[in-house]
Amino acid sequence: MTNSRRDFSTCGPGDLVLANRILFKYGVVDGFGHVSLRCQDNPEQFWLARNCAPSLVGIDDIIRHDLDGETVENVDHRLYLERFIHAAAFQRRDDIRAVVHSHSCSMVAFSVSKVQKLVPVWHMAGFLGRNVKIFDTEDKFGSETDLLITDMEKASALADCLVDSDVALMRGHGATIYGRTLPEAVYRAIYAELNAQILLNSAAMGTFKALSVGECKATVERISPQIGAPGIFGCGKLNATDYGLVLLLTYRRDWKRDRVGKNTMAHETLANSEPFLLSDERLAHLVRLVAKGFSRCLQIRLAEHGVSFGHWTYLRVLWEQDGITQRDLSTRLGLMEPTVHTALEKMLKAGLIRREHRDGNKKKKYIYLSDTGRLLRAELEPLAVEVNDIATEGLQDGDLLRLRAMLLHMHANLSVDEASALEQGLSMPSTRKLGEPK
């Protein structure tokens, strides 16, 4: 099998979105908590989501911050109150690339205990070492703070506890964990919490035996190279959509695009990765996700040419048959004539089409492409081909043929059902009439 392990120094905003989801799925964060990533192109900046529940973070929520905890560009979004934790961490430690701050309950328990220190009792948590420090805001800022790290002064004090350690508890608050890669920070945050749970149970049973200093070192050396292995956080916790993101973000940057030859690396990687269940994922939802992905990726490319996705659909018809009426165009697109009329008016102003009377008929106008609209075909159609290639990358020819056949079969089934409904006098109501009393 091809070695599919990624170079995690290339992690970006998309990976940070996934990290938020994984930490939420494992219960490390809930409505609060956050994870950051040092920018690959500028080590003096880092990526962090806007003030948003981790489970809801999307790619558009990721914002660049500087090492003072301020945004690089002006944004209207609310920011995390404790973003300064991340700023001070990256400012103090050049060797780290990711930071997790959480309020996971078992870790909090050890942050307030006067009896039991947080120590590793599990080989998966050797990174904790035998001297996890506890940061207490009261020591430097008095007994009337809200315990939050809301400025650089407090954040710098916390960073002092993490000069020679990658994990620190925060009294009555939570924990801050560093990683040299994003997967390492996520791994440590998850297994620190799980180790804390095991330790609580072990302590309740009586005496227990923690890992020695030597065992901590040996387990870290053994396990660290495994962090980031394909699907390590996927099975059992993420749903099909999330797990698809795991696969995508694990392999995507290693796929070599070859427009001429066959690309089997991605197919081979997916085929040999851990299995995941799609049985609970609705087909309609998956089809909608794919359709949305197609349109968004194409829209991004069309925008560079000053063409909207809506205009693209009209241009495609006119490239095939120029000089048709508005009604014909409406029929071909399956759209209402008023909708088509509005779009054509905009295309007329944009210089993409022209309207003409024909055969002396003053009532009927025919739609023709302008020279500009006609020449755009050579520029825009390759963009659609490119998006299609990206979407189907890693699929074999046989896979694509079967996929087309299945989609056509599903479309035929639904068309028969719709026709049957029409025969019974039923029809699709307009959106304006939905909800109106009968």
- The residues that are catalytic are 82
Q: How far is CA 300 from CA 17, 27, 308, 383, in A?
A: 20, 35, 9, 10
Structure tokens at 41: 């192109």
Distance, CA of 85 to CA of 154 (rounded, Å): 8
63-73 in b/e burial notation, b at 16+ Cβ within 10 A? bebbbebebee
Distance, CA of 117 to CA of 186 (rounded, Å): 22
Cα distance between the two ends of the chain:
62
Structure tokens at 158: 């916390």
Q: 293, 391 in Cβ contact below 8 A? A: yes
- Evaluated on CA atoms 153, 154, 158, 160, the torsion sign reads positive
Distance, CA of 375 to CA of 6 (rounded, Å): 42
Structure tokens at 283: 């087909």
Distance, CA of 390 to CA of 144 (rounded, Å): 56
Q: Is 113 helix (H, G, I), strand (E, B) or coil?
A: coil
Q: How far is CA 78 from CA 38, 63, 74, 75, 167, in A?
A: 20, 11, 11, 8, 27
